[in-house]
Amino acid sequence: MKYIEDFRNARHAKAFAEKIRQVADTGRNYRLMEFCGGHTHAIARYGLEDLLPDNVRMIHGPGCPVCVLPMGRIDNAIALAQDHDVILCTYADMMRVPGSHRTSLIKARSEGADVRMVYSPQDVLKIAEDTPDKQVVFFAIGFETTTPPTALLVNEIRARGLTNLSIFCNHVLTPSAMRGILAGDVQIDGFVGPSHVSTIIGAEPYEEFAGPDGRPVVIAGFEPLDVLQAIMMLIEKINRNETGVDVQYTRAVKPKGNERAIALMEEVFELRDTFEWRGLGFLEKSALKLKEAYADLDAEKRFNVPAISASDNPACECPSILRGQKHPVDCKLFGTICTPDNPMGSCMVSSEGACAAHWTYGRFREPKKAIA
Amino acid sequence: MKTKRPKLDLKNGRVELTYGGGGRAMSQLIDELFRPAFSNTLLDELADYAGFPGGKRMVMATDGHVISPLFFPGGDIGCLSVHGTVNDVAMSGAKPLYLSASFILEEGFPLGDLHRIVTSMAEAAKAAGVSIVTGDTKVVERGKGDGVFITTTGIGVVEHDTPLGAGEIRSGDKIIVSGTIGDHGVAVMSKREGLSFGTDIQSDTAALHELTALAIETAPGLRVMRDPTRGGVAATLNELAEASGLGVRLDEASLPIRPEVNGACELLGLDPLNVANEGKLIAICSAEDADKLLATMRAHPLGKNAAMIGEMADDPHHFVQMTTSLGGNRIVDWLSGEQLPRIC
């Protein structure tokens, strides 16, 4: 099977679009939230909204780890790189997200800080071994997808006895974010459930949202045909007044997920009592930190990283956009002072954010006002 | 909707990597720093070349090369520094004649590597029919450079009368690309330190003067030619849309992209439309002449994968819009800053 071509087949896409038109009840509206930035990106990148009927509206969720990281944590990372003279390593699109002083890691690098882009924690290991005289910090971010590799890194640091490498942990949990969204006044009829995250945690953790008062969830892959098929399945579930979790992404997701990866995460990490999410505020038990047994590898402890609270521009509508209450164009900042080149709010900072996706791929298009 | 971008901080700001990324930040640096300083009627055309009066009409272009790694599949900084400038000159339809070459070398750089690079430059120049007529060499302290930087300047002579430029473009004109896109950027990225995937993709670095001469000869309705280097096809088409006051409509299914390039871009979270090319050109041409031009390009070895990828359209927003392979629509935007891979 050719993974790229086969899951982007135009003929099958048209067939799914036709099927969606057939099953969508013209007498009602469907507000579907795709949780993951990867889905948001696929929808925007392939123009999938053009294939959906007018009464099906996609709401772009908060599943973009770069977007939801609060500015205070970015300020912390910048301070680590600038004030503690460490080599700070992180994933690429984290590099240009601005902190509270309109500065970013990429700017800090131009001012002399040693900030390195890595593709995998294994790269960090090599950097630490190659520079034994320098302290190296891995600025670890992401949902459950990127957490097991960080856990592996922690084990490797121990196994190799490295004393110059620590973790600035910002890993967050998907189910907590979905809980946070549903806690407010939201009109969401169902979720296109996380893709890569679900390959790790499986389908079962979403059951709590899919109970009698909950919303149906269909876990979907990131390819455009995956997304279309999941939308079709979700509409059918909604029509049957059914909740519960279904899996469209059966080629990768097992009900219990990747049990070895889960065991690895549980060995190394524990829940934080609370953690701030950009756009969603503080959410209880929504993020991970290193267990006490690994406290010596925790950069927050090694470098006395302070808690910094930094608020977004008060005119920023990201909190409402993340909950599907507003559309990016409803925000006064959108496209005026807030653009992908100069992002002000969480939804604009990565190409996976709702505002960045609409600006980059869809700004020629009028939003579906009928159901806004 | 008017976008307000903060001005460059000329007092305390510093040069950032994004200023070289081929996106809006670079365009801003040019608009706010270089253009006001160097402004003259030739430079203000903002083409890749400047024509000036002489016995015949002359054309001049300059290009700095700072590539890492210096040697990559399909080429090296030496031949690249010739092709880059030859192509900028050739995009005017001129015949490239002379090059200057300025080297900035880092202390400690191996002479053997330098020899390889210079030999490669000489071979590329000979193949392109240009002479390197003047040069300069500076050396910076160890740690103050990245091995070798090469700046070349080229001069060519215009022997045709076809008026070329973004101002000549009309709604309904066709857009042709001379071959597969994204090859160079992916070939280079696959060799960068820290990237552990292997591909057989070769850089497309090549001199395009024969292809441009053929285009001029074949298509009286030729409007403009550009080589989509940094920022890729997306940046070039956005520039042309703004400069012509029109919009661009692309058809994704018609874009020539190698499956290996698509696969690598997929792994890295990149869009092939934003990836650099060093041996491709985009030609915009009247609808009447487009089929003829396409056939001519395809008959040349450097244009055998040429394709018609879209057309110009009236659009007050000057959007580059694309019908996706699945039948939806989207904007093909400039790159925001440096192209950085997405996390998941």
Instruction: List, for residues B244-289, the tens digit of each pLDDT value.
Output: 999 999 999 999 999 889 888 888 778 999 999 999 999 999 999 9
Residue B281 distance to chain A (closest CA, Å): 24
Is the pLDDT assigned to residue A184 strictly greater than 80?
Answer: no
Fold of B40-158: 60s Ribosomal Protein L30; Chain: A; (3.30.1330)
| CA of A214 vs chain B CAs: smallest distance (Å) | 27
Q: How far apart are CA B205 and CA B104, in angstroms?
A: 22
Q: Is the dihedral of CA B195, B199, B203, B204 positive or negative?
A: negative
Q: Is residue A356 part of a domain?
A: no
pLDDT in tens, A74-131: 999 999 999 999 999 998 778 888 888 888 999 999 999 999 999 899 999 999 999 9
Whole-Å CA distances, A272 to A176, A230, A262: 12, 33, 17
Chain B interface, mutation test: which of A145, A329, A361, most B Cβ atoms within 10 Å?
Answer: A361
Residue B344 pLDDT greater than 50, yes or no: no
Q: To 10 degrees, what angle do helices A121-130 and A147-160 make?
A: 30
Cα separation, B334 vs B24, in Å, equals 7
Give B-chain residues touching A41 at CB under 8 angstroms: 342
Q: How far apart are CA A282 and CA A180, in angstroms?
A: 9
In a domain, A350, yes or no: no
Contact check, Cβ <8 Å, B262/A335: no
Give the lowest-confidence range in A78-82, A366-370, B29-33: A366-370
Non-local CB neighbours of A38 within 8 Å, separated by 6+ positions: A63, A195, A196, A222, A352, B344
Verify whether the Cβ–Cβ distance A336 to B324 is below 8 Å: no
Look at residue B56 in the predicted model and tell me its pLDDT: 81
Confidence (pTM): 0.85
**Minimum CA–CA partner of A63 in chain B:** B344
- What pLDDT digit, counting tens, does each position of B221-234 carry? 999 999 999 899 99
Is position A243 within any domain?
yes
Q: Does A321 fall in a domain?
A: no
Residue B343, pLDDT score: 47
| Strand runs labelled E in B107-186 | 131-140, 148-158, 174-177
**3-class SS at A106?**
helix
> What is the model's pLDDT at position B205?
96
Give the pLDDT score at B2. 57
Residue A90 inside a domain? The answer is: yes
Q: Does domain B166-331 have CATH number 3.40.190.10?
A: no
d(CA A66, CA A74): 10
Chains A and B form CB pairs within 8 A to the count of 137
Q: Does residue A37 contact residue A347 with C-beta atoms inside 8 Å?
A: no
Residue A260 pLDDT grade (very low, low, confident, very high; cuts 50, 70, 90)? very high
Q: Are strands B247-251 and B307-313 parallel, antiparallel or unpaired?
A: antiparallel
At a CB cut-off of 8 Å and minimum separation 6, what does B153 contact? B60, B61, B62, B63, B85, B99, B100, B102
Looking at residue A237, its pLDDT comes to 95
Question: Which candidate from B262, B331, B343 shows the least CB-CB separation from A66?
Answer: B343
CATH at residue A139: 3.40.50.11740
Residue B137: C-alpha distances to residues B60, B116, B120 (Å): 21, 16, 17
Q: Is residue A299 part of a domain?
A: yes
Nearest beta carbon to residue A196 from set B331, B341, B344: B344
Nearest CA to A196 out of A262, A271, A152, A249 is that of A249
CA-wise closest residue to A4 among B74, B262, B277: B262
Q: Taking CA atoms, what residue in B is nearest to A13? A: B326
Contacts of A17 (CB under 8 A, 6+ apart): A51, A52, A228, B327
Non-local CB neighbours of A112 within 8 Å, separated by 6+ positions: none
**Residue B193 — very low, low, confident or very high, per pLDDT cuts 50/70/90?**
low
On chain A, the residues whose CB falls within 8 A of the CB of B336 are 339-341, 351, 360
List CB contacts (< 8 A) between B263 and chain A.
4
Measured between CB atoms, does A251 come within 8 Å of chain B? Answer: no
Region for residue A136 given its phi and psi (left: phi exceeds 0; alpha: psi -120 to 50; beta: otherwise): beta
A197 CB-near residues (< 8 Å, 6+ apart): A36, A63, A143, A144, A145, A174
Tokens read off for B24? 């809006």
The ranges assigned to domains in chain B are 40-158, 166-331
With an 8 Å Cβ cutoff, are A350 and B342 in contact? Answer: yes
Q: How far apart are CA B181 and CA B305, in angstroms?
A: 10
Read off the pLDDT band of A372 (50, 70, 90). Answer: very low
Which residues of chain A lie closer than 8 angstroms to B194, CB-CB?
117-119, 123
The tally of domains found in chain A comes to 1
The whole-number pLDDT of residue A58 equals: 93
Range of the domain at A28: 1-312
Smallest CA-to-CA distance from A86 within A66, A67, A105 is with: A105
Confidence class for position A178, pLDDT limits 50, 70, 90: confident
Band of pLDDT at residue B53, cut at 50, 70 and 90: confident
B17 interfaces chain A, CB cutoff of 8 Å:
yes
pLDDT recorded at residue A97: 85
How many other C-beta atoms can be found within 10 angstroms of the C-beta atom of residue A166? 26
- A57-71, A322-336, B73-87: range with highest mean pLDDT: B73-87
Please report, for residues B208, B299, B311, B328, the alpha-carbon distance to residue B179 in angstroms, rounded to integers and kept in the order given. 12, 12, 17, 24
A99 alpha carbon, distance to own chain's centre: 18
Asked if the model's pLDDT at residue B5 lies above 80, the reply is: no
Alpha helices, DSSP H, located in B98-250: 111-128, 183-191, 209-218, 232-244
pLDDT confidence bin for A6, thresholds 50/70/90 = confident
pLDDT band at A1; cut points 50, 70, 90:
low
One-letter amino acid at B106 equals E
Q: Is the per-residue pLDDT at B337 higher than 70?
A: no
Tell me what pLDDT residue B189 has.
Answer: 84
